[in-house]
Amino acid sequence: MRPTGAIERVPASGRTAVTGTPCGAVDADVAGCVGQELAVLLDEQLTHAACLDDVFARDVARPIAQFTLEGGRRTRARLLWWAMRACGGGSAETASALRMAAAIELIQTCALVQDDVMDGSPQRRGRASFHAQVAEEYRHVTADASRAASFAASAAILAGDLALSWADDIVAATDLPRGSRRQVLEMWRCLRTEMVAGQYLDLHSQVTGSRSVIRALQAARLKTALYSVERPLAFGAVIAGANAATLHGLRCAGRYAGIAFQLRDDLDSVFGDSLLTGKESGEDIKAGKLTYLIAVARARAEAQRNTYVLSVLDSAVGNASLSPSDLRQVRDALADCGARQAVEQRVARLGRRASRHLRALDLDRTASERLAELLHTVMAFEPTARGVQEDDGARPELVASVAHGGGR
Protein backbone atom coordinates (compact mmCIF):
# COMPACT_ATOMS: atom_id res chain seq x y z
CA MET A 1 0.00 0.00 0.00
CA ARG A 2 1.23 3.49 -0.79
CA PRO A 3 -1.26 6.04 0.57
CA THR A 4 -1.08 9.69 -0.39
CA GLY A 5 1.97 11.25 1.17
CA ALA A 6 3.60 7.90 1.99
CA ILE A 7 7.15 8.36 3.18
CA GLU A 8 10.20 7.28 1.31
CA ARG A 9 12.99 5.88 3.41
CA VAL A 10 15.65 8.44 4.18
CA PRO A 11 19.03 7.16 5.39
CA ALA A 12 19.53 7.74 9.11
CA SER A 13 22.51 9.95 8.28
CA GLY A 14 20.12 12.31 6.52
CA ARG A 15 18.25 13.05 9.73
CA THR A 16 19.45 15.08 12.68
CA ALA A 17 19.15 13.44 16.08
CA VAL A 18 17.66 15.58 18.83
CA THR A 19 18.82 13.57 21.82
CA GLY A 20 21.72 15.99 22.35
CA THR A 21 19.49 19.06 22.12
CA PRO A 22 19.40 21.25 25.27
CA CYS A 23 16.17 20.80 27.21
CA GLY A 24 15.36 24.49 26.76
CA ALA A 25 15.23 23.99 22.99
CA VAL A 26 12.85 21.07 23.45
CA ASP A 27 10.68 23.25 25.71
CA ALA A 28 10.14 25.57 22.76
CA ASP A 29 8.77 22.80 20.50
CA VAL A 30 8.12 19.53 22.30
CA ALA A 31 5.93 18.07 19.56
CA GLY A 32 8.45 18.95 16.87
CA CYS A 33 11.37 17.46 18.78
CA VAL A 34 9.45 14.25 19.50
CA GLY A 35 8.54 14.05 15.82
CA GLN A 36 12.18 14.48 14.87
CA GLU A 37 13.20 11.77 17.34
CA LEU A 38 10.58 9.48 15.83
CA ALA A 39 11.90 10.18 12.34
CA VAL A 40 15.39 9.07 13.33
CA LEU A 41 14.17 5.96 15.16
CA LEU A 42 11.78 4.97 12.37
CA ASP A 43 14.49 5.40 9.74
CA GLU A 44 16.37 2.61 11.46
CA GLN A 45 13.30 0.38 11.51
CA LEU A 46 12.49 1.07 7.86
CA THR A 47 16.02 0.15 6.86
CA HIS A 48 15.53 -3.22 8.50
CA ALA A 49 12.07 -3.66 6.96
CA ALA A 50 13.40 -2.93 3.45
CA CYS A 51 16.09 -5.57 3.92
CA LEU A 52 13.46 -8.14 4.84
CA ASP A 53 11.05 -7.63 1.92
CA ASP A 54 10.12 -4.80 -0.41
CA VAL A 55 6.38 -5.58 -0.38
CA PHE A 56 6.25 -5.71 3.42
CA ALA A 57 8.15 -2.43 3.63
CA ARG A 58 5.88 -0.76 1.06
CA ASP A 59 2.54 -2.04 2.35
CA VAL A 60 3.04 -2.15 6.11
CA ALA A 61 6.23 -0.64 7.49
CA ARG A 62 6.32 2.63 5.55
CA PRO A 63 2.61 3.47 5.88
CA ILE A 64 2.58 2.74 9.63
CA ALA A 65 5.70 4.88 10.06
CA GLN A 66 4.05 7.67 8.08
CA PHE A 67 0.88 7.38 10.16
CA THR A 68 2.98 7.85 13.29
CA LEU A 69 5.05 10.72 11.90
CA GLU A 70 1.97 12.61 10.79
CA GLY A 71 0.68 12.06 14.31
CA GLY A 72 -1.86 14.14 16.11
CA ARG A 73 -1.12 16.78 18.74
CA ARG A 74 1.54 14.63 20.50
CA THR A 75 -0.46 15.17 23.69
CA ARG A 76 0.87 12.10 25.49
CA ALA A 77 4.44 12.98 24.59
CA ARG A 78 3.99 16.55 25.80
CA LEU A 79 2.46 15.35 29.07
CA LEU A 80 5.50 13.16 29.68
CA TRP A 81 7.91 15.97 28.85
CA TRP A 82 6.29 18.63 31.01
CA ALA A 83 5.88 16.23 33.93
CA MET A 84 9.61 15.51 33.69
CA ARG A 85 10.41 19.23 33.59
CA ALA A 86 7.98 20.06 36.40
CA CYS A 87 9.68 17.47 38.60
CA GLY A 88 13.07 19.07 38.09
CA GLY A 89 14.36 17.07 35.11
CA GLY A 90 16.72 18.76 32.70
CA SER A 91 19.36 18.13 30.05
CA ALA A 92 20.57 14.91 31.68
CA GLU A 93 17.11 13.40 31.26
CA THR A 94 16.27 14.82 27.83
CA ALA A 95 17.37 11.84 25.74
CA SER A 96 15.47 9.34 27.92
CA ALA A 97 12.33 11.48 27.95
CA LEU A 98 12.31 11.96 24.17
CA ARG A 99 12.76 8.25 23.51
CA MET A 100 10.00 7.28 25.95
CA ALA A 101 7.76 9.91 24.37
CA ALA A 102 8.46 8.40 20.95
CA ALA A 103 7.58 4.95 22.27
CA ILE A 104 4.26 6.22 23.62
CA GLU A 105 3.46 7.74 20.22
CA LEU A 106 4.03 4.34 18.62
CA ILE A 107 1.85 2.52 21.12
CA GLN A 108 -0.82 5.12 20.34
CA THR A 109 -0.46 4.21 16.67
CA CYS A 110 -1.02 0.56 17.55
CA ALA A 111 -4.13 1.40 19.56
CA LEU A 112 -5.68 3.63 16.89
CA VAL A 113 -5.08 1.33 13.93
CA GLN A 114 -6.38 -1.77 15.68
CA ASP A 115 -9.27 0.10 17.30
CA ASP A 116 -10.41 1.26 13.85
CA VAL A 117 -10.42 -2.35 12.64
CA MET A 118 -12.48 -3.54 15.61
CA ASP A 119 -14.94 -0.67 15.25
CA GLY A 120 -15.06 -0.80 11.46
CA SER A 121 -14.19 2.90 11.37
CA PRO A 122 -13.75 4.24 7.83
CA GLN A 123 -12.00 7.44 8.97
CA ARG A 124 -9.17 8.52 11.20
CA ARG A 125 -7.76 12.05 11.49
CA GLY A 126 -10.01 13.26 8.72
CA ARG A 127 -8.89 10.70 6.14
CA ALA A 128 -9.35 7.03 5.37
CA SER A 129 -8.35 4.77 8.27
CA PHE A 130 -5.39 2.41 7.80
CA HIS A 131 -7.45 -0.67 6.94
CA ALA A 132 -9.67 1.39 4.62
CA GLN A 133 -6.57 2.55 2.73
CA VAL A 134 -5.38 -1.04 2.36
CA ALA A 135 -8.79 -2.13 1.10
CA GLU A 136 -8.82 0.64 -1.49
CA GLU A 137 -5.28 -0.17 -2.62
CA TYR A 138 -6.10 -3.84 -3.19
CA ARG A 139 -9.65 -3.35 -4.44
CA HIS A 140 -8.57 -4.24 -7.96
CA VAL A 141 -6.79 -7.46 -6.96
CA THR A 142 -9.90 -9.49 -6.18
CA ALA A 143 -13.54 -9.22 -7.17
CA ASP A 144 -14.52 -10.63 -3.76
CA ALA A 145 -15.18 -7.56 -1.61
CA SER A 146 -15.37 -9.56 1.63
CA ARG A 147 -12.01 -11.16 0.90
CA ALA A 148 -10.43 -7.77 0.28
CA ALA A 149 -11.93 -6.42 3.52
CA SER A 150 -10.64 -9.40 5.47
CA PHE A 151 -7.17 -8.94 4.00
CA ALA A 152 -7.19 -5.23 4.84
CA ALA A 153 -8.25 -5.89 8.44
CA SER A 154 -5.54 -8.51 8.88
CA ALA A 155 -2.90 -6.21 7.39
CA ALA A 156 -3.93 -3.41 9.75
CA ILE A 157 -3.73 -5.72 12.78
CA LEU A 158 -0.21 -6.70 11.74
CA ALA A 159 0.69 -3.04 11.24
CA GLY A 160 -0.50 -2.28 14.77
CA ASP A 161 1.56 -5.17 16.10
CA LEU A 162 4.56 -3.80 14.26
CA ALA A 163 4.13 -0.37 15.85
CA LEU A 164 3.92 -2.00 19.28
CA SER A 165 7.07 -4.02 18.56
CA TRP A 166 8.92 -0.88 17.54
CA ALA A 167 7.77 0.83 20.73
CA ASP A 168 9.09 -2.08 22.81
CA ASP A 169 12.40 -1.94 20.93
CA ILE A 170 12.78 1.75 21.77
CA VAL A 171 12.04 1.27 25.47
CA ALA A 172 14.39 -1.72 25.73
CA ALA A 173 17.25 0.26 24.18
CA THR A 174 16.69 3.49 26.14
CA ASP A 175 19.43 4.49 28.56
CA LEU A 176 17.31 5.49 31.55
CA PRO A 177 18.59 7.50 34.51
CA ARG A 178 20.12 5.47 37.32
CA GLY A 179 17.53 4.01 39.64
CA SER A 180 14.56 4.50 37.32
CA ARG A 181 14.92 1.64 34.84
CA ARG A 182 13.13 -1.04 36.84
CA GLN A 183 10.20 1.24 37.66
CA VAL A 184 9.87 2.50 34.07
CA LEU A 185 9.86 -1.03 32.66
CA GLU A 186 7.26 -2.13 35.20
CA MET A 187 5.02 0.81 34.28
CA TRP A 188 5.50 0.03 30.59
CA ARG A 189 4.45 -3.57 31.18
CA CYS A 190 1.34 -2.40 33.05
CA LEU A 191 0.45 0.15 30.37
CA ARG A 192 0.33 -2.47 27.60
CA THR A 193 -1.86 -4.84 29.62
CA GLU A 194 -4.18 -2.01 30.71
CA MET A 195 -4.74 -0.99 27.09
CA VAL A 196 -5.67 -4.53 26.07
CA ALA A 197 -7.98 -4.93 29.06
CA GLY A 198 -9.74 -1.65 28.30
CA GLN A 199 -10.23 -2.51 24.64
CA TYR A 200 -11.61 -5.91 25.58
CA LEU A 201 -14.12 -4.33 27.96
CA ASP A 202 -15.15 -2.04 25.12
CA LEU A 203 -15.78 -5.03 22.84
CA HIS A 204 -17.39 -7.07 25.60
CA SER A 205 -19.94 -4.35 26.30
CA GLN A 206 -20.93 -4.26 22.63
CA VAL A 207 -21.61 -7.99 22.36
CA THR A 208 -23.35 -8.28 25.75
CA GLY A 209 -25.31 -5.05 25.53
CA SER A 210 -24.07 -3.94 28.94
CA ARG A 211 -25.72 -0.85 30.40
CA SER A 212 -23.65 -0.48 33.57
CA VAL A 213 -22.43 3.03 34.40
CA ILE A 214 -19.66 1.52 36.55
CA ARG A 215 -18.44 -0.71 33.72
CA ALA A 216 -18.48 2.25 31.34
CA LEU A 217 -16.22 4.22 33.68
CA GLN A 218 -13.92 1.23 34.16
CA ALA A 219 -13.51 0.82 30.42
CA ALA A 220 -12.83 4.55 30.04
CA ARG A 221 -10.13 4.43 32.70
CA LEU A 222 -8.38 1.34 31.34
CA LYS A 223 -8.74 2.05 27.64
CA THR A 224 -7.91 5.74 27.62
CA ALA A 225 -7.32 7.55 30.91
CA LEU A 226 -4.35 5.49 32.06
CA TYR A 227 -2.24 5.37 28.92
CA SER A 228 -3.30 8.77 27.60
CA VAL A 229 -2.68 10.88 30.71
CA GLU A 230 -1.82 9.11 33.96
CA ARG A 231 0.99 6.89 32.64
CA PRO A 232 2.73 9.61 30.58
CA LEU A 233 2.81 11.87 33.65
CA ALA A 234 4.20 9.01 35.72
CA PHE A 235 6.92 8.24 33.17
CA GLY A 236 8.04 11.86 33.20
CA ALA A 237 8.09 12.00 36.99
CA VAL A 238 10.07 8.78 37.36
CA ILE A 239 12.61 9.79 34.71
CA ALA A 240 13.14 13.04 36.62
CA GLY A 241 13.64 11.15 39.89
CA ALA A 242 10.53 12.48 41.63
CA ASN A 243 9.77 11.24 45.13
CA ALA A 244 6.86 8.91 45.90
CA ALA A 245 4.53 11.69 47.08
CA THR A 246 5.03 13.74 43.93
CA LEU A 247 4.55 10.69 41.72
CA HIS A 248 1.33 9.83 43.56
CA GLY A 249 0.00 13.37 43.22
CA LEU A 250 0.72 13.52 39.51
CA ARG A 251 -0.91 10.15 38.95
CA CYS A 252 -4.03 11.31 40.78
CA ALA A 253 -4.18 14.48 38.70
CA GLY A 254 -3.67 12.41 35.57
CA ARG A 255 -6.32 9.91 36.53
CA TYR A 256 -9.00 12.56 36.93
CA ALA A 257 -7.93 14.46 33.83
CA GLY A 258 -7.71 11.24 31.82
CA ILE A 259 -11.24 10.16 32.66
CA ALA A 260 -12.46 13.68 31.85
CA PHE A 261 -10.65 13.39 28.51
CA GLN A 262 -12.51 10.18 27.65
CA LEU A 263 -15.89 11.52 28.78
CA ARG A 264 -15.34 14.62 26.66
CA ASP A 265 -14.43 12.35 23.74
CA ASP A 266 -17.72 10.47 24.29
CA LEU A 267 -19.59 13.75 24.03
CA ASP A 268 -17.68 14.85 20.94
CA SER A 269 -18.40 11.52 19.25
CA VAL A 270 -22.11 12.35 19.38
CA PHE A 271 -22.27 16.13 19.39
CA GLY A 272 -18.96 17.10 17.78
CA ASP A 273 -18.24 18.28 14.27
CA SER A 274 -16.68 15.45 12.25
CA LEU A 275 -14.50 18.01 10.46
CA LEU A 276 -12.91 18.84 13.81
CA THR A 277 -12.88 15.39 15.42
CA GLY A 278 -11.62 13.60 12.29
CA LYS A 279 -14.16 10.81 12.78
CA GLU A 280 -17.72 10.27 11.67
CA SER A 281 -20.28 11.69 14.11
CA GLY A 282 -22.32 9.06 15.89
CA GLU A 283 -19.77 6.33 15.29
CA ASP A 284 -19.88 5.11 18.90
CA ILE A 285 -23.69 4.98 18.75
CA LYS A 286 -23.64 2.95 15.55
CA ALA A 287 -21.06 0.55 16.97
CA GLY A 288 -23.18 -0.03 20.07
CA LYS A 289 -20.43 1.05 22.45
CA LEU A 290 -21.09 1.33 26.15
CA THR A 291 -19.98 4.92 26.69
CA TYR A 292 -20.53 6.72 29.97
CA LEU A 293 -22.83 9.14 28.16
CA ILE A 294 -25.17 6.38 26.96
CA ALA A 295 -25.05 4.54 30.29
CA VAL A 296 -26.03 7.72 32.14
CA ALA A 297 -28.80 8.44 29.63
CA ARG A 298 -30.33 5.02 30.14
CA ALA A 299 -30.09 5.27 33.91
CA ARG A 300 -31.70 8.71 33.95
CA ALA A 301 -34.44 7.71 31.50
CA GLU A 302 -35.28 4.64 33.58
CA ALA A 303 -35.40 6.71 36.77
CA GLN A 304 -37.63 9.26 35.02
CA ARG A 305 -39.72 6.49 33.41
CA ASN A 306 -39.06 8.25 30.15
CA THR A 307 -40.08 5.58 27.67
CA TYR A 308 -39.49 7.88 24.71
CA VAL A 309 -35.79 8.32 25.43
CA LEU A 310 -35.40 4.60 26.10
CA SER A 311 -37.06 3.74 22.82
CA VAL A 312 -34.81 6.16 20.92
CA LEU A 313 -31.72 4.63 22.50
CA ASP A 314 -32.93 1.07 21.92
CA SER A 315 -33.45 1.74 18.22
CA ALA A 316 -30.27 3.74 17.70
CA VAL A 317 -27.49 2.10 19.74
CA GLY A 318 -25.87 -0.61 17.64
CA ASN A 319 -27.71 0.46 14.48
CA ALA A 320 -25.02 0.65 11.79
CA SER A 321 -27.54 2.24 9.38
CA LEU A 322 -28.29 5.20 11.65
CA SER A 323 -29.30 8.18 9.51
CA PRO A 324 -28.41 11.84 10.16
CA SER A 325 -32.00 12.51 11.21
CA ASP A 326 -31.87 9.54 13.59
CA LEU A 327 -28.66 10.92 15.09
CA ARG A 328 -30.32 14.30 15.61
CA GLN A 329 -33.09 12.49 17.46
CA VAL A 330 -30.53 10.78 19.68
CA ARG A 331 -28.86 14.12 20.42
CA ASP A 332 -32.18 15.64 21.41
CA ALA A 333 -32.98 12.66 23.63
CA LEU A 334 -29.61 12.85 25.39
CA ALA A 335 -30.17 16.53 26.07
CA ASP A 336 -33.81 16.14 27.11
CA CYS A 337 -33.13 13.50 29.77
CA GLY A 338 -30.24 15.57 31.15
CA ALA A 339 -27.50 13.09 30.25
CA ARG A 340 -25.46 15.58 28.25
CA GLN A 341 -25.44 18.14 31.05
CA ALA A 342 -24.73 15.46 33.65
CA VAL A 343 -21.65 14.28 31.78
CA GLU A 344 -20.43 17.84 31.22
CA GLN A 345 -20.80 18.51 34.93
CA ARG A 346 -18.86 15.31 35.67
CA VAL A 347 -16.07 16.54 33.41
CA ALA A 348 -16.05 19.84 35.33
CA ARG A 349 -15.78 18.09 38.70
CA LEU A 350 -12.99 15.86 37.44
CA GLY A 351 -11.17 18.95 36.20
CA ARG A 352 -11.35 20.59 39.62
CA ARG A 353 -10.04 17.45 41.28
CA ALA A 354 -7.14 17.26 38.85
CA SER A 355 -6.42 20.91 39.57
CA ARG A 356 -6.36 20.41 43.33
CA HIS A 357 -3.93 17.50 43.10
CA LEU A 358 -1.60 19.40 40.78
CA ARG A 359 -1.78 22.57 42.86
CA ALA A 360 -0.77 20.70 46.02
CA LEU A 361 2.57 19.57 44.57
CA ASP A 362 5.92 21.32 44.94
CA LEU A 363 6.84 21.61 41.27
CA ASP A 364 8.88 23.91 39.11
CA ARG A 365 6.59 26.90 38.61
CA THR A 366 7.12 27.54 34.90
CA ALA A 367 6.93 23.90 33.89
CA SER A 368 3.92 23.21 36.12
CA GLU A 369 2.06 26.09 34.48
CA ARG A 370 2.73 24.54 31.07
CA LEU A 371 1.59 21.17 32.42
CA ALA A 372 -1.57 22.70 33.87
CA GLU A 373 -2.34 24.40 30.56
CA LEU A 374 -1.89 21.11 28.74
CA LEU A 375 -4.18 19.22 31.11
CA HIS A 376 -6.79 21.92 30.66
CA THR A 377 -6.54 21.48 26.90
CA VAL A 378 -6.83 17.71 27.26
CA MET A 379 -10.14 18.07 29.05
CA ALA A 380 -11.29 20.85 26.68
CA PHE A 381 -13.56 22.23 29.36
CA GLU A 382 -15.33 25.48 28.48
CA PRO A 383 -18.15 26.11 31.00
CA THR A 384 -19.47 29.25 29.31
CA ALA A 385 -19.81 27.62 25.91
CA ARG A 386 -21.21 24.41 27.34
CA GLY A 387 -23.55 26.00 29.86
CA VAL A 388 -22.21 24.00 32.80
CA GLN A 389 -22.94 25.34 36.26
CA GLU A 390 -20.15 25.30 38.84
CA ASP A 391 -21.12 23.52 42.06
CA ASP A 392 -18.49 24.92 44.40
CA GLY A 393 -17.76 28.38 43.09
CA ALA A 394 -14.31 27.40 41.87
CA ARG A 395 -13.36 27.69 38.22
CA PRO A 396 -11.86 24.47 36.78
CA GLU A 397 -9.19 26.53 35.04
CA LEU A 398 -6.06 24.55 35.83
CA VAL A 399 -3.61 27.23 34.78
CA ALA A 400 -4.92 29.83 37.19
CA SER A 401 -5.08 27.44 40.13
CA VAL A 402 -1.52 26.24 39.69
CA ALA A 403 -0.20 29.75 39.15
CA HIS A 404 -1.40 30.63 42.66
CA GLY A 405 -0.05 27.45 44.23
CA GLY A 406 3.35 26.64 45.64
CA GLY A 407 6.31 26.05 43.36
CA ARG A 408 10.03 25.97 43.44
- Indicate the pLDDT class of residue 119, thresholds 50, 70 and 90: confident
- Indicate the pLDDT class of residue 304, thresholds 50, 70 and 90: very high
CB atoms inside a 10 Å sphere around CB 41: 26
Comparing 2-6, 30-34, 172-176, 205-209, which segment has the lowest mean pLDDT? Answer: 2-6
Domain extent listing, the chain: 1-175
pLDDT > 90: percent of the chain: 69
Task: State the greatest distance between any 2 C-alpha atoms of the chain, in Å, as a whole number.
Answer: 67
> In whole numbers, what is the pLDDT of the chain averaged over residues?
86
Coil vs helix vs strand at 127: strand
CA–CA separation, 86 and 246 (whole Å) = 10
Q: Which pLDDT belongs to residue 277?
A: 66
Region 340-358 average pLDDT = 95
CA–CA separation, 211 and 269 (whole Å) = 18
Read off the pLDDT of residues 32-68 as tens digits, 9 standing for 90 and up: 999 999 999 999 999 999 999 999 999 999 999 999 9
pTM here is 0.86
For 68, half-sphere exposure in the C-beta direction (CA atoms, 13 angstrom radius) is 37
Q: Which pLDDT belongs to residue 325?
A: 93
Region 267-271 average pLDDT = 91
- Taking the alpha carbons of 359, 361, 362, 365 in that order, is the dihedral positive or negative? negative
366 has a pLDDT exceeding 60: yes
Q: Which pLDDT belongs to residue 319?
A: 92
